[in-house]
């Protein structure tokens, strides 16, 4: 079987539109040939079961050979030309040998299994490459270059021609075209695609911005700090591609094992033919013994010893909202020793909620909340939506507002019942004085130390309340973390959000190791460090998580809220965003591994016994086929036990 290929390099620009899953699949020749082989195999089996004339089902099985076997056959011939033997050669020879002695069904089954595996490999590689390419579309193709910070000279240029030091104008609502530093203006920038922060971040002079992030309501002048191919987005693409190549190289060990096994079987087959002939034995009995050996030494039972348990476990997990992309991923799940969680959208829902309203004057907290909601009701900012939602949830009446005004980086102001209400970031306090302002500043510091985001509410220039907001924690998060710890996996929190917010969430869910302020490459580096103490699972949902997911031993993505790249990079997808399924899936993988070990021992013993019998005695062909097929059926049925729903329940309750 050919090993996994490295992720194809994405072009610099001009990414083609993404295709549907079905279109992508049938666009691949490997999928079309494997599908045809499976159909022919099914028709052949139907013809044989219904007692149709043997030439009919023989023709169908041989057509299955041709459809599914020509590519591995060609690969095997190319390997032989390179003076190597691999399992491609062995499987094709075994299939031909099976047909030569009348067991064409066995050979066709081998062909179907082999071609289907190759098709799945090609499909996953193509989809991942498409998602990596789509990431490049985050950054705009064009940017507005200006001659000076406030100058009138403006030129539309390709982002590819921007040089370090150029000044570019970012208008409200535009995507930022290059990494750089703000030298003029103020605005709020949604940079969740890069850092994973749930709320827009205030950007002023001296603030760093990233290509592909979305500007808010203000205008910015940015000094370019890196060329297009050196931006954070471009580095994410490069890291995913490089990680894919590294994983592909690790498959070289498997190739060596395949080659050695193939050499042993081929040499043994030739000796079984040659030695009796040299001793004067008849050709036909010698050839029959050699073919019998080829059948009983065929890895069918060993292949089925491994795949049915893993595939059954994958199917069982799929019924419960967990998509596991490959048997390799299922095997790797059992070895997880460290589970690294992203914060926003993974342990939390990714949207802020009001958690406290601290009154600073004799004004009631509900009245302060009502004033804030009235001022914020016309804003689309996530914090504004959270304030309005909190007021409605508490049945606080929201009055009408006039003279609404939004100041980028500061907040909003409006006239409500003849009074001026301001709601904004703590920087609003810089323009206010008095004892209430000092009290508000102290409250802000306390709340931010606790990991909350804060806003200040002022009426007629006097601070009346500080509102604390936090990202909503997923309800099952603490129990999930506790189950992972009981199962021997160390939980860790990695996030692009600030450290105080990370520590706050970590305390709530029971994680002692929390690391904040991590850009995508920082998360990947953190995963690499964690891998020194064991195999690492990374659970995330955003584009910014993709490099760390590619570097991790197992990557898990949130299916509903996860970005396309995160979903495609991941080995496991939580379709319902149910993180409680993570420890259950790990437990299921460990059970599957136990069945695999039992199957391999049984299959190996049967093969050893049959091969030994064929070497030292005379193994009748019908008995050899019966032993071979019997062991294959036995390990297959044993593996399929993992399809039972009770297996998932027992893994969940363990």
How far is the C-alpha of 490 from the C-alpha of 555, rounded, in Å?
16
Distance CA 524, CA 313 (A): 29
Burial degree of 217 (CB within 10 A; 0-12, 13-18, 19+) = middle
Instruction: Classify residue 345 by its DSSP letter.
Output: I
The dihedral sign for the CA sequence 323, 326, 331, 337: negative
Task: Answer for the pair 464, 359: CB distance below 8 angstroms, yes or no.
Answer: yes
β-strand 214-215 against 201-203: which pairing, if any?
unpaired
Token pair of 5, please? 């290929």
Query: Which residue, among 370, 384, 454, has the nearest Cα to 416 in the 3D structure?
Result: 370
Cα-flanking dihedrals φ and ψ of residue 34, to 5°?
-65, -40
CA distance 199 to 218: 16
How far apart (Å, rounded) are the C-alpha atoms in residues 618 and 646? 45
Are 300 and 109 a contacting pair, CB within 8 Å? yes
Distances from the Cα of 73 to the Cα of 58, 78, 79, 216, 635, angstroms: 20, 9, 10, 58, 27
Question: Structure tokens of 181?
Answer: 């530093």
What phi and psi, each to the nearest 5 degrees, are found at residue 143?
Answer: -140, 155
| Region label for 494, one of left (φ > 0), alpha (ψ between -120 and 50) or beta (otherwise) | beta
Angle made by CA atoms 197, 200, 202, in degrees to the nearest 5: 115
Measured CA to CA, the distance from residue 432 to residue 561 in angstroms comes to: 40
CA distance 26 to 104: 28
DSSP characters over 272-331: HHHHHHHTT--HHHHHHHHHHHHHHTSTHHHHHHHHHHHHHHHHHHHHTTEEE--HHHHH
Beta-bridge mates of residue 444: none
Report how far apart, in Å, the C-alpha atoms of 117 and of each of 4, 112, 412, 544 are: 10, 9, 58, 31
Q: Which two tokens stand for residue 226?
A: 């890196």
Phi, psi of 271 (to 5 degrees): -65, -40
| Active site residues per annotation | 342
As beta bridge partners, residue 356 has 468
Q: Give the integer Cα–Cα distance in Å for 509 and 477.
A: 6
* Degrees, nearest 5: CA angle 58-60-62: 70
The structure tokens listed for 494 are: 């990695």
Contacts of 27 (CB under 8 A, 6+ apart): 19, 126
Beta strands in 40-163 (DSSP E): 142-146, 154-158
Q: Read off the DSSP letter of residue 643.
A: G
What DSSP designation does 461 have?
T
The span from the CA of 620 to the CA of 610, in Å, is 10
d(CA 329, CA 651): 18
């Amino acid at each position: 079987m050919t090993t996994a290929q490295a992720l194809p390099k994405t072009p610099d620009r001009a990414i083609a539109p993404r295709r549907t899953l079905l279109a992508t699949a049938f666009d691949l020749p490997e999928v079309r040939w494997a599908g045809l082989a499976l159909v022919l195999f099914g028709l052949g089996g139907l013809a044989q079961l219904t007692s149709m004339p043997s030439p009919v089902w023989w023709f169908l099985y041989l057509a299955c050979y041709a459809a599914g076997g020509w590519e591995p056959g060609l690969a095997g011939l190319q390997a032989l030309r390179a003076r190597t033997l691999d399992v491609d050669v062995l499987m094709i020879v075994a299939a031909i040998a099976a047909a030569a002695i009348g067991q064409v069904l066995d050979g066709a089954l081998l062909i179907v299994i082999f071609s289907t595996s190759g098709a799945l490999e090609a499909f996953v590689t193509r989809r991942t490459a498409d998602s990596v390419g789509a990431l490049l579309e985050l950054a705009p193709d064009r940017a507005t270059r200006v001659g000076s910070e406030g100058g009138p000279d403006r030129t539309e240029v390709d982002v590819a021609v921007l040089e370090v030091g150029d000044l570019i104008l970012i208008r409200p609502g535009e995507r930022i075209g290059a990494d750089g530093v703000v030298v003029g203006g103020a605005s709020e920038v949604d940079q969740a695609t890069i850092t994973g922060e749930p709320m827009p971040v205030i950007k002023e002079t001296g603030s760093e911005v990233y290509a592909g992030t979305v500007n808010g309501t203000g205008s910015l002048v940015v000094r370019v700090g890196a060329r297009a191919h050196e931006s954070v987005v471009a580095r994410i693409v490069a890291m995913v591609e490089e990680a894919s190549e590294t994983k592909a190289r690790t498959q070289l060990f498997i190739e060596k094992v395949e080659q050695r096994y193939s050499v042993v079987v081929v040499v043994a087959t030739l000796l079984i033919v040659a030695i009796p002939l040299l001793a004067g034995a008849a050709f036909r009995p010698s050839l029959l013994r050699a073919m019998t050996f080829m059948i009983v030494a065929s890895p069918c039972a060993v292949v089925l010893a491994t795949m049915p348990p893993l595939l059954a476990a994958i199917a069982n997990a799929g019924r419960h909202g967990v998509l596991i992309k490959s048997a390799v991923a299922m095997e790797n799940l059992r070895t997880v020793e460290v589970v690294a969680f992203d914060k926003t959208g993974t342990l939390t829902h990714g949207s802020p909620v009001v958690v406290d309203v601290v009154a600073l004057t004799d004004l009631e907290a509900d009245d302060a909340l009502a004033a804030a909601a009235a001022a914020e009701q016309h804003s689309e900012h996530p914090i504004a939506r959270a304030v309005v939602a909190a007021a409605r949830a508490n049945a606080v009446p929201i009055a009408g507002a006039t003279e609404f005004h939004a100041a980028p980086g500061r907040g909003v102001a409006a006239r409500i019942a003849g009074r001026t209400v301001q709601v904004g970031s703590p920087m609003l306090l810089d323009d206010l004085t008095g004892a209430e302002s000092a009290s508000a500043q102290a409250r802000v510091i306390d709340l931010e130390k606790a990991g909350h985001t804060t806003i200040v509410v002022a009426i007629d220039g006097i601070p009346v309340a500080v509102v604390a907001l936090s990202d909503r924690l997923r309800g099952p998060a603490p129990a999930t973390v506790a189950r992972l710890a009981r199962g021997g996996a160390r939980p860790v929190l990695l996030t692009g959000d600030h450290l105080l917010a990370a520590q706050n969430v970590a305390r709530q869910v029971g994680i002692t190791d929390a690391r904040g302020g991590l850009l995508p490459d920082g998360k990947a580096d953190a995963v690499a460090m964690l891998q020194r103490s064991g195999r690492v699972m990374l659970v995330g949902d955003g584009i910014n998580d993709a490099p760390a997911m590619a570097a991790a031993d197992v990557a898990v993505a949130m299916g509903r809220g996860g970005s396309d790249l995160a979903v495609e990079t991941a080995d496991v997808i939580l379709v319902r965003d149910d993180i409680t399924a993570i420890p259950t899936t790990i437990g299921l993988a460990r059970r599957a591994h136990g069945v695999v070990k039992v199957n391999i021992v049984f299959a190996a013993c049967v093969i050893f016994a049959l091969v030994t019998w064929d070497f030292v005695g005379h193994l009748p062909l019908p008995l050899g086929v019966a032993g071979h097929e019997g062991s294959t059926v036995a390990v297959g049925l044993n593996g399929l036990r993992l399809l039972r729903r009770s297996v998932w329940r027992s893994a969940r309750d363990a």
